[in-house]
Structure 1
Amino acid sequence: MVLIPLVRDYIDRMLQDISGMKVVILDPQTVSIVSVVYSQSDLLRKEVFLVETVDNMSKESMVHLKAVYFLRPTSENIQKLRRQLATPRFAEYHLFFSNILKIPQIQVLADSDDQEVVQQVQEFYADFCAIDPYHFTLNMNMNHIYMLPTVVDPPSTQSFCDRAVDGITAVFLALKRRPVIRYQRTSEIAKRIAQESAKLMYEQESGLFDFRRTEISPLLLVIDRRDDPVTPLLNQWTYQAMVHELIGIQDNKVDLRNIGNVPKDQQEVVLSSEQDEFFKANMLENFGDLGMNIKRMVDEFQQIAKSNQNIQTIEDMAKFVNNYPEYRKMHGNVSKHVTMVTEMSRIVEERKLMLVSQTEQELACNSGQAAAFEAVTNLLNNESVSDIDRLRLVLLYALRYEKESPVQLMQLFNKLASRSAKYKPGLVQFLLKQAGVDKRTGDLYGNRDLLNIARNMARGLKGVENVYTQHQPLLFQTMEGIVKGRLRDADYPFVGNHFQQGRPQDVVIFIVGGTTYEEARTVALHNATNSGTRFFLGGSVVLNSKRFLKDLEEAQRIHRTTTAV
């Protein structure tokens, strides 16, 4: 079982048993949940005439249509539904919720249905956005909350934790599994989410989770983004991760409106491994191989286009008409990928990212403080280097050498402040307070544990295939620790009295603060080559460096405001 078919199956079941023309009504979260796994043409095939949002519905009566609601079971959505049921616009109401309904909520719906238009109320556990087969996100708006102490904003912290628990429990309900649960000891918010998830699964809703037992329970591991602040700060050189870093991906869609002369039908494009064979084959490939594969695709398309110009007989014409939809789809696909790669190449050249990235990778993967200081200083002085790249370089240097060279670190702070007008003073220091060496659990640079030191030396002696993709996220070590039974109980305690004997077959790792596409790639490559343990990766958002820095700045702003009072 993988995530996308599970969610698709839920939507299929909502739509296929209701005959005739339908209108689908979603909330902002379920719009994302549906859109990443279901296309417009999929909806049309299920006789969906219209899609509306529960916040923005017309008042027009449509008694010829049946309404299919798919909503998160929030108190706000229940109240909106209550008001809409009071004056029904549709012939029938079929209500589906993405998570567990509370008894009082069911009572409110029953009391509101005076005209008896509600045909069914069901829970379908798709309360997460399945962006890839093994990668999900919760698209949480207030992502910076994880960096703040609970006392700063208790209501926001609670709603952040509640949403995380809802998403995690929905994943396990969809997988029909009840896990044992572990968390990162040094993270208060990871501990809280793990404990609240355990309470829901083992106490409050234990009946729902009473699935057929497997010999070894699956594992849920809740960890904190701050244990690896390096991965979201790095430039990326594999296709999916690179698009998100340089252009941005939201719910598998890429907005190209700000790029040159893009045709109207290409201004927002879908990047989905389910809907695009070329993307599926190349999403994890590095930029160099991608360029060659795109050239091959363009050459193939030109051959087909040329043969279509040689229409000489009625049979040729009939053949072309029959193949036209496929031809048009191929034309759109070629145009989409060429546009994105051209734009990314332009950004790489304009921001001198190959130069910047080489130093970033050295900071992340190799020690050598004097050479690193010189390289970062030179790039800070380089007029072609952008403000955001200067900031990332200093952050990466600070994370690596915070204890070794305080004087030189201060010199870099001062130079950064003088070169970058947008730099917010104290941001680097704030990151070190959040995610410095004293706060981290994992061996981020592979220099604490003898095994990791030996592994890094062996890797260095063998050489790295590509200097721009030599970095491995800390998640790789964590996964290895799980597979080999080396994840220390002291660092990652179990919740309650539930322990694990043996290697789990299914593991969900949830990163509070967000995942990256580099980490999703690590999971996908592991699952493709290892049959023993299958990993799923989820988080509060999907990060690129821009989003990570935005969360950092927002947390710093709130922290300053509250400590100044």
Structure 2
Amino acid sequence: MSLIPIVRDYIGKMLQDISGMKVLVLDSQTVSVVSVVYSQSELLQKEVFLVELVDSKSKESMAHLKAVYFLRPTLENVQHLRRQLSTPRFGEYHLFFSNILKTTQIQVLADSDEQEVVQQVQDFFADFSAIDPYHFTLNLQMNHVYMLPAVVDPTSVQSFCDRVVDGIAAVFLALKRRPVIRYQRTSDIAKRIAQETAKLMYEQESGLFDFRRTEVSPLLLVVDRRDDPVTPLLNQWTYQAMVNELIGIEDNKVDLRNIGKVPSDQKEVVLSSEQDAFFKANMYENFGDLGMNIKRMVDEFQQVSKSNQNIQTIEDMARFVDNYPEYRKMHGNVSKHVTMVTEMSRIVEERKLMLVSQTEQELACNGGQVAAFEAVTNLLNDESVSDLDRLRLVMLYALRYEKESPVQLMQLFNKLASRSTKYKSGLIQFLLKQAGVDKRTGDLYGNRDLLNIARNMARGLKGVENVYTQHQPLLFQTMESINKGRLRDVDYPFVGNHFQQGRPVEVVIFIVGGTTYEEARIVALHNATNSGIRFILGGSAVLNSKRFIKDLEEAQRAARLSSTV
């Protein structure tokens, strides 16, 4: 139940069955779908000599090339195709769509193909970016829309829901499964998406989803990011999550252009578990262990370099030339990881993140309001703490103690407003309105359930191996509940009359509002234990603290505008 091989297989089939020189034509979203699973060199091996966007204005005739289009089946893309088929630039047109193409759209394309250049039209269900084997994203730009009541912006909310339903449907069509569907009761948007997905799978396109039945149906669980607003606000200390938090990852690429002296071929680097063995082995390691492993990799590289310097005979030279591509690849890999770890160490030092993160983890994992208030106050007064970190600390304090200490909370709001120029008035109050204790379903701080209380106490007594990685996202509890067959129907109802008979062995959890790499790590580590249940995690976007706060700001702005209209 890994997504990457499925998407690679789709793209492989598209390209290898069409012989000769090809141009691959994509849209802004299928660019992401392809780039996370196929490297440029692999595309070249499939005789793809040009990659173009469907909205390109180029009119240059290239009749010697065969065009392979891979597009989302949107109205806009069909219009682009209509225009391009009316005056064909390429010798042949092979059209592939990442989701269900409507009969009316097929008719439009057929009518436009007056010169009969279209050789085939097919649906290949890859309407999502498989960034890791068990983690996919829809990369939605308007991700903040999930926080808006439908009445505020009905058009945007509907298009958001439509895109999410399309993405989820494509995942299950790719997996050849039809799930039973559950959703988080307290979230209107999770309920709406779950119901619209069920309608598509069981009514509108029931024939497409009529796969061979498994003994126990897979489960699709649709939950809301606002049930766990803590995870995307925390600093991260494991490799992949930390790179995303401190530098940023987009479609498995890291932009290093703003970092000091970086070789020209490393201005943008790929961080993919499929293409980089060192990253695959270390993506979930904590920062301390990562440093040791990078040192070991550098030592190994220096040994290889020394052996290459001992070129004394023609045979030695021939051997070096044979091994040169591997040597260059190893050199690039060492350089890339050293650059990133050096940059992250600089940021940690500059922003005093070890100090800040210790307080964050205390706020997320342990009680003690008086000590927490004092720690946050001290950090707000510290000149070297950044505006972003001050804001995150007060947000984490507010989420934890909104009911216990309203007076102290107001003091922190006032201090934050006076110290941080970037703080937007009312943003934390908006966060509490969106994701405060009265809105949440899950036991975010483990203080409702006796078992969680006992577990937290035991953890506190034993001490924690790494103070910076104590936090467990709410997703961990949700997965445990599914594992044990204890996910409460009252909190996570089923859609319609499709109930689960027995414990599922395949589960897709979709987080409306976005996933984090900390959550993806939990899923990957669980799947590595062979416990019998396989999980896939998906979301409308991939978050770090900046993106989560930006979504909050945009939702707050949209809510304010609607109230003034």
TM bucket normalised to smaller = over 0.9
Secondary structure class of the residue paired with 1:312: coil
Distance in 2 between residues matched to 1:372 and 1:528, nearest whole Å: 36
The aligned counterpart of 2:557 is 557
Amino acid at match of 2:125: Y
In structure 2, what is the equivalent of residue 370 of structure 1?
A: 370
Per the TM alignment, residue 464 of structure 1 is displaced from its structure 2 partner at its CA by 1.1
Taking the aligned partners of 2:482 and 2:530, their CA distance within structure 1 comes to 13
**Paired position in structure 2 for 1:387:** 387
1:221 partner SS: strand
| 2:149 partner SS | coil
Q: Which residue of 1 aligns with 2:462?
A: 462
Task: Look up the match of 2:514.
Answer: 514
What is the distance in 2 between the residues matched to 1:451 and 1:57? Answer: 62
Q: Deviations over 1:434-490 (max 9, x none)?
A: 000000000000001112111212222232110000000000000001110111001
Report the alpha carbon displacement of residue 516 of structure 1 after superposing the two structures with TM. Answer: 0.1
- Identify the residue that residue 414 of structure 1 maps to in structure 2: 414
- The 3-state SS of whatever aligns with 2:295 is helix
Query: Which whole-Å CA distance do the structure 1 matches of 2:459 and 2:371 have between them?
Result: 20
- Residue in structure 2 matched with residue 313 of structure 1 by the alignment: 313
Write the distance in 1 (CA, Å) between the matches of 2:558 and 2:88: 44
Matched, 1:473 2:473: yes
Q: Which residue of 2 aligns with 1:49?
A: 49
CA apart distance, 1:498 = 0.7
- The letter of the residue matching 2:359 is T
Structure 2 unaligned residues grouped into runs of 5+: none
Aligned to 1:444: 444
SS at match of 1:441: coil
Paired residues for 1:24-103 under 5 Å:
24-103=24-103
In the alignment, the residues of structure 1 paired with residue 271 and residue 412 of structure 2 have an alpha-carbon distance, to the nearest angstrom, of 39
TM-score (norm. length: structure 1): 0.99
Aligned residue runs from structure 1 range 230-379, under 5 A: 230-379=230-379
Structure 2 Cα separation of the partners of residues 365 and 290 of structure 1:
24
Q: Quick check: 1:499 aligned with 2:499?
A: yes
Query: Counterpart of 1:301 in structure 2: which amino acid?
Result: F
Amino acid at match of 2:316: D
2:531 is aligned with 1:537: no
Matched positions, count: 565
Measure, in 1, the Cα distance between the counterparts of 2:125 and 2:530. 28
Tell me, in whole angstroms, the C-alpha distance in 1 between the residues paired with 2:362 and 2:86: 63
SS at match of 1:182: strand
> Which residue does the alignment assign to 1:106?
106
Partner of 1:489: 489
CA distance in 1, matches of 2:523, 2:68: 35
Q: For 2:459 and 2:499, how far apart are their aligned partners in 1? A: 34
Amino acid at match of 2:475: L
Q: Match of 2:14? A: 14
| CA-CA distance at 1:531 after TM superposition | 3.1
Task: Tell me how far apart the structure 2 counterparts of residues 185 and 288 of structure 1 sit (CA, whole Å).
Answer: 40
Amino acid of the residue matched to residue 532 of structure 1? G
Long gaps (5+) in structure 1: none
Secondary structure at the residue paired with 2:237? Answer: coil
Deviations 1:33-61 (Å, cap 9, x if unpaired)? 00000001111111111110001142111
User: C-alpha deviations, 1:139-167, integer Å up to 9, x for none?
Assistant: 00100001111000000000000000000
Paired with 1:409 and 1:383, the residues of 2 have a C-alpha distance of 21
Match of 2:428 in 1: 428
Q: Which residue of 1 aligns with 2:180?
A: 180
Q: Distance in 1 between matches of 2:323 and 2:450?
A: 61
- The secondary structure found in structure 1 opposite 2:10 is helix
Structure 1 residue 158 corresponds to structure 2 residue 137? no
CA–CA distance in structure 2, aligned partners of residues 426 and 18 of structure 1: 57
1:382-441 superposed Cα distances (whole Å, 9 cap, x missing partner): 000000000000000000000000000000000000000111011110000000000000
Give, as a single letter, the amino acid of the residue that structure 1 aligns with 2:10. Answer: Y
Matched letter for residue 227 of structure 2: D
The residue type paired with residue 177 of structure 2 is R
User: One-letter code of the match for 2:349?
Assistant: E
Q: Match of 2:274, SS?
A: coil
SS at match of 1:91: strand
Per-residue CA deviation, residues 356-397 of structure 1 (Å, 9 max, x unaligned), is 000000000000000000000000000000000000000000
Other-structure match for 2:547: 547
User: Is the partner of 1:100 in helix, strand or coil?
Assistant: coil
Counterpart Cα distance in 1 of 2:92 and 2:4: 29
Matched, 1:207 2:207: yes
What amino acid does structure 2 have at the position aligned with 1:193? Answer: I
Once residues 339 and 113 of structure 2 are traced to their aligned partners in structure 1, the CA distance between those partners, rounded to angstroms, is 51
Q: What amino acid is the match of 2:379?
A: L
2-structure distance, mates of 1:41, 1:212:
37
Partners of 1:462 and 1:213 lie apart in 2 by: 47
* AA in 2 matched with 1:117: V
Report the secondary structure of 2:504's partner residue: coil
CA–CA distance in 2 between the matches of 1:421 and 1:541? Answer: 28
In structure 2, the partner of 1:198 is 198
Cα deviations by residue, 1:476-516 (Å, 9 ceiling, x for unpaired): 00000111011100100000001102111110000000000
User: 1:558 & 1:57 partners in 2: Cα distance?
Assistant: 34
**Paired amino acid for 1:297:** M
CA distance, structure 1, for counterparts of residue 397 and residue 255 of structure 2: 32
Counterpart of 1:243 in structure 2: which amino acid? V
TM, length-normalised to structure 2: 0.99
Q: CA deviation at 1:109?
A: 0.5
Q: After the TM superposition, which parts of structure 1 deviate over 6 Å for at least 4 consecutive aligned residues?
A: none
- Pairing 1:116-155 to 2, within 5 Å after superposition: 116-155=116-155
Task: State the AA in 1 paired with 2:499.
Answer: F
Q: Distance in 2 between matches of 1:55 and 1:282?
A: 39
**SS of the residue aligned with 2:518?**
helix
Q: Distance in 1 between matches of 2:336 and 2:57?
A: 33
Mapped partners of 1:328, 1:216: distance in 2 = 49
C-alpha distance in 2 between matches for 1:372 and 1:415: 15
**In the alignment, residue 170 of structure 1 is paired with which amino acid?**
A
Larger deviation: 185-194 or 460-469?
A: 460-469
> What is the percent sequence identity of the aligned residues?
87
- Give secondary structure in 1 for the equivalent of 2:190: helix
Distance 2:4 2:558 in 1: 37
Offset at residue 307 of structure 1 (A): 1.1
User: What code does the residue aligned with 2:495 have?
Assistant: V
